[in-house]
Amino acid sequence: MDPVCADKRQHPRMVEDRMNPAQINVSPEQTQEYWIEIAKSFVSDQTKRAKNTNKAKNVIFFLGDGLGITTITAARLLLGGEEKKFSFEKFPHTGSSITYCVNEQVADSACTSTAYLTGVKANYATAGVNAKVPRYDCQAWQDKTHFTTSLAELAQKMGKSTGFVTTTRVTHASPSGLYAHTADRDWEDDYEIQADGCNPAEVDDIAKQLIHGDVGKNFNVIMGGGRRHFRGYSVYDEEGYRAKRSDERDLIQEWIDDASKPNKEYIWNKEQLMNLNVSYTDHVLGLFEGSHLLYNLQAKALGREATEPTLEEMLYKALQIVNKNDEGFFLFVEGGKIDLAHHDLELRASLDETVEFHKAIELARNMFSEEDTLIVVTADHSHAVSMAGYPNRKHDIFGYSGNANDNKPYFTFSYANGPGYDTHVVEGVGRVDPRTLDTSAWNFPFPAMNPRDSETHGGEDVPVYASGPWAHLFTGTYE
């Protein structure tokens, strides 16, 4: 084939999309000087940077669950355009992390949580244990030499305040690596342990470890969702959700009754959070949903903004509490619903959760100096989402990139697999014309190539951004 013809075939554009720069208002970018100045500014910033070798009094670890490069790029477009940068993208030091589990090429959030919180790679779906513990193995779990030591445990031994904030259940995979040791990430309560044929009298569930475990019981801050795993099955919680424990224990009440925690508060709604007296409070247990917190867009759609706290709001109170300790603090912060939205192909929700995650990071960096506070931002894995086609600058990221060979437009973003397949493909007929679909809902499922009940993770490396003391050590590619 003629090279010119081949190039046109490989890089097609819809005629109606062929816009010139004047039409998309990028006139400053049409000159060489514009780009040269950007490059000069970048080089100048890089050469002025000195290594910060101060001792880190405080450490804030931000985990964007499922926040791969494609998600960052897409959310950046949503935030303000191709040239926009998130607060953490301006951090001085970056690297990349290799995410596989010991026994799986593509990781889940439990084995990765063990890796980045304890420094030890583990088997798929296990947390806080080494790779000698296979998933579901009750006997291997009972050998305490297999337990790993988390950053939270080390910080507690140093006399620092500790805690975590998440938009998922507080017993979910990512935060569990801070305080739990489990052969299955789903062992969030005793019922789940029994369901897998193990004995809860011999194996501690994750919720129990959070309230009574050596690390969990010492947290100053616990905020997220998941009330259902802390009370008995016969109990309906503050918002009418049924609990799940088969032992009928009330772990929330046990936390409240713990005499070793002075100045404590249990809260379950946004009003209580906003009215929390941080000067008095040294320990807070905030469980704001029966399961995960609502998506930010979902809360808006349901009119729940007045009752559902945002990640930024939870973080602000958490930082005020842990910062009272003269020895400093370690805080883990998870934007967990970036991941959950991707699993359902709900791209709008995932990108909006990424923007919310960025707001929380910006808050923390503005509250604390780089001189004594290390902030690290990373992900545990990516997702099977891709950005394709040749869309114009400033085009709707939830729109189409061009026409496929069936003369129907295709979305700029799509997934390799997931539950959106049936929305976009009719068996025996072919692809649904996306122009006939209402794509405006916050939970609209974007197209998937292969049908699955839930979209899978991606296996590529994920970015790491660092700012503060010894942040330069996070450059390079590492496990």
pLDDT digit string, tens, across residues 71-101: 999 999 999 888 889 999 999 999 999 999 9
Looking at the structure, do residues 425 and 323 belong to the same domain, yes or no?
Answer: no
> Helix axis angle, 311-322 relative to 347-367, nearest 10°?
30
Q: What SS3 state is found at 475? A: coil
Q: 36: which residues sit within 8 A by CB, 6+ positions away?
A: none
Q: Is 334 annotated as a binding residue?
A: yes
Residue 381 annotated as binding? yes
Residue 49 lies in a domain: no
The one catalytic residue among 41, 87, 97, 109: 109
Question: Do 207 and 300 sit in the same domain of this protein?
Answer: yes
205 annotated among ligand-binding-site residues:
no
**pLDDT digit string (tens) for the chain, length 479 residues:** 555 555 555 455 554 454 554 455 666 777 778 878 888 888 888 887 889 999 999 999 999 999 999 999 999 999 988 888 999 999 999 999 999 999 999 999 999 999 999 999 999 999 999 999 999 999 999 999 999 999 999 999 999 999 999 999 999 999 999 999 999 999 999 999 999 999 999 999 999 999 999 999 999 999 999 999 999 999 999 999 999 999 999 999 999 999 898 999 999 999 999 999 999 999 999 999 999 999 999 999 999 999 999 999 999 999 999 999 999 999 999 999 999 999 999 999 999 999 999 999 999 999 999 999 999 999 999 999 999 998 888 889 999 998 999 999 999 999 999 998 989 999 888 999 999 999 999 999 999 999 999 999 999 999 999 999 999 999 999 99
d(CA 439, CA 449): 18
Number of compact structural domains in the chain: 2
Known binder of ligand: residue 406? no
Question: To 10 degrees, what angle do helices 347-367 and 69-79 make?
Answer: 80
Q: Do the beta carbons of residue 256 and residue 274 sit within 8 Å?
A: no
Residue 320: domain span: 58-381+461-478
CA 257 → CA 162, 283, 319, 361, distances in Å?
20, 13, 24, 34
The answer to whether position 111 is within a domain reads yes
Q: What angle do CA 448, 464, 371 make, to 5 degrees?
A: 150
Is-contact 69 382, C-beta < 8 A? Answer: yes
| Residue position matching structure tokens 């000698």 | 132
Same domain, 396 and 375: no
243 part of a folded domain? yes
Tell whether 275 and 323 lie within a shared domain. Answer: yes
Same domain, yes or no: 377 and 394:
no
Stretch (H or E) spanning 249: none
Residues 95 and 229 in one domain: yes
How far apart CA 446 and CA 442 sit, in angstroms, is 11
Shared-domain flag, residues 357 and 416 = no
Tokens of 389: 């086609």
Measured distance CA(194)–CA(381) in Å, rounded? 30
Are 315 and 396 part of one and the same domain? no
Domain membership flag for residue 33: no
188 in the same domain as 108:
yes
In terms of domains, do 201 and 229 share one?
Answer: yes
350 is catalytic: no
DSSP lists the bridge partners of residue 59 as 330, 374
Residue 385 DSSP SS3? strand
Which CA distances in Å does 463 have to 59, 69, 80, 252, 466? 18, 7, 21, 37, 10
Task: Tell whether pTM > 0.85.
Answer: yes
In this structure, how many other beta carbons lie within 10 angstroms of the beta carbon of residue 324? Answer: 13
